[in-house]
């Protein structure tokens, strides 16, 4: 049981890191996305 719990924790940690990277990339890309939208809209 302990091994299973460790694997679950590790998987959860990796998922948190992936989610953090996705958020970081999304935040970085937001101004560029707004810029593209303004370019095409106006």
The pLDDT of residue 21: 95
DSSP 6: H
pLDDT per residue over 20-40, tens digit each? 999 999 998 998 888 988 998
To which H or E segment does residue 28 belong? helix 2-41
42 pLDDT above the threshold of 60: yes
Of residues 3 and 12, the one with the higher pLDDT is 12
**pTM for the model:** 0.50
The pLDDT of residue 12: 76
User: For residues 36 and 42, what is the distance between their CA atoms, to the nearest angstrom?
Assistant: 10
The pLDDT of residue 24: 94
User: For residues 36 and 31, what is the distance between their CA atoms, to the nearest angstrom?
Assistant: 9
User: For residues 9 and 27, what is the distance between their CA atoms, to the nearest angstrom?
Assistant: 27
């Amino acid at each position: 049981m302990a091994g299973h719990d460790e694997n679950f924790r590790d998987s959860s940690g990796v998922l948190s890191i992936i989610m953090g990277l996705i958020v970081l990339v999304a935040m970085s890309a937001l101004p560029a996305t707004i810029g593209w939208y303004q370019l095409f809209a106006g």
